[in-house]
């Protein structure tokens, strides 16, 4: 489904899950670190990792913990996985902790991002920290006009100040800025700051529910790029 993106002057993209397969990358890294684990066991360890990161990000957003970047949180999560799985090799745990730098892009991410960026300013807006975004963008072939990290604000999405940082960089009215994400929670928070929103379906996403208002729903980034070309 396309529509509702006329008049957009800049496009802001979520990164983790929207442009790269974050859960798949963590699963792959855990499978490599614990080669004897079956699928169910790996799923348990992935869930352990994700729960830790999500809980700590929430604590930071609500002021229960001082800001720590995603590399710190990922290392903590890797330590929890290592403890649960009995991993004692420090080099293996170190490599696991940097799984966020090696996430693979979805098949359409690099080409659609380049297509959209040839006509409009593009900004990445991510909960990943600066060092992770540097390596991730390079390895995944993602090219931006600018990329912003939670590091730049000292908190995580869905805190409003993260989206306002993107609006400050773009420098135009919020209703002219399109936030693109595969997560309804991300789009709800962006919309609350006045941004336009577009949902892009991904296998690991969080689809909008009937009560959500979005300006466009797309099956892939290529469809979004085509709509923005019009």
Domain boundaries, the chain: 10-21+103-229, 22-101
pLDDT tens for each residue of 73-96: 999 999 999 999 999 999 999 999
What is the topology classification, in CATH, of domain 22-101?
A: DNA polymerase; domain 1 (1.10.150)
Q: Is the dihedral of CA 43, 48, 49, 51 positive or negative?
A: positive
Which residues of the chain have a pLDDT value below 50?
1-3
CA angle 22, 12, 2 (to 5 degrees): 90
10-21+103-229 falls under which CATH superfamily?
HAD superfamily/HAD-like (3.40.50.1000)
pLDDT of residue 108: 97
Helix (H, G, I), strand (E, B) or coil at 80: helix
6 burial level (CB within 10 Å; 0-12, 13-18, 19+): exposed
- CA dist 227 and 189 (Å) reads 23
pLDDT of residue 3: 45
pLDDT of residue 138: 97
pLDDT of residue 9: 97
Cross-strand partners of 206:
183
DSSP designation for 127: S
Which residues are CB-contacts of 74 (< 8 A; sequence separation ≥ 6)? 53, 97, 98, 99, 100, 132
Distances (CA, A) of 9 to 6, 12, 83, 154, 195: 9, 10, 48, 27, 11
Question: Is-contact 126 17, C-beta < 8 A?
Answer: no
pTM of the model: 0.95
Cross-strand partners of 183:
206
- CA dist 197 and 214 (Å) reads 5
């Amino acid at each position: 489904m396309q529509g509702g993106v006329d008049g957009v002057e800049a496009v802001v993209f979520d990164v983790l899950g929207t442009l790269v397969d974050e859960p798949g990358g963590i699963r792959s890294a855990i499978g490599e670190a614990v080669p004897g684990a079956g699928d169910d066991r790996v799923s348990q360890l992935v869930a352990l990792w994700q729960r830790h990161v999500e809980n700590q990000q929430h604590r930071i957003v609500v002021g229960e913990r001082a800001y720590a970047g995603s590399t710190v949180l990922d290392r903590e999560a890797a330590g929890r996985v290592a403890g649960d799985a009995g991993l004692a090799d420090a080099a293996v745990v170190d490599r696991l902790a940097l799984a966020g730098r090696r996430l693979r892009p979805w098949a359409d991410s690099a080409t659609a991002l380049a297509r959209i960026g040839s006509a409009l300013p593009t900004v990445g807006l991510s909960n990943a920290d600066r060092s992770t975004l540097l390596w991730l963008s390079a390895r995944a072939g993602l090219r931006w006009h600018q990329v912003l990290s939670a590091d730049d604000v000292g908190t995580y999405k869905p805190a409003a100040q993260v989206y306002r940082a993107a609006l400050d960089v773009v420098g135009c009215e919020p209703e002219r800025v399109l936030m693109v994400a595969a997560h309804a929670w991300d789009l709800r928070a962006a919309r609350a700051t006045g941004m336009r929103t577009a949902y892009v379906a991904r296998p690991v996403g969080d689809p909008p529910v009937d009560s959500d208002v979005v300006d466009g729903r797309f099956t892939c980034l290529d469809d979004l790029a085509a709509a923005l070309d019009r």
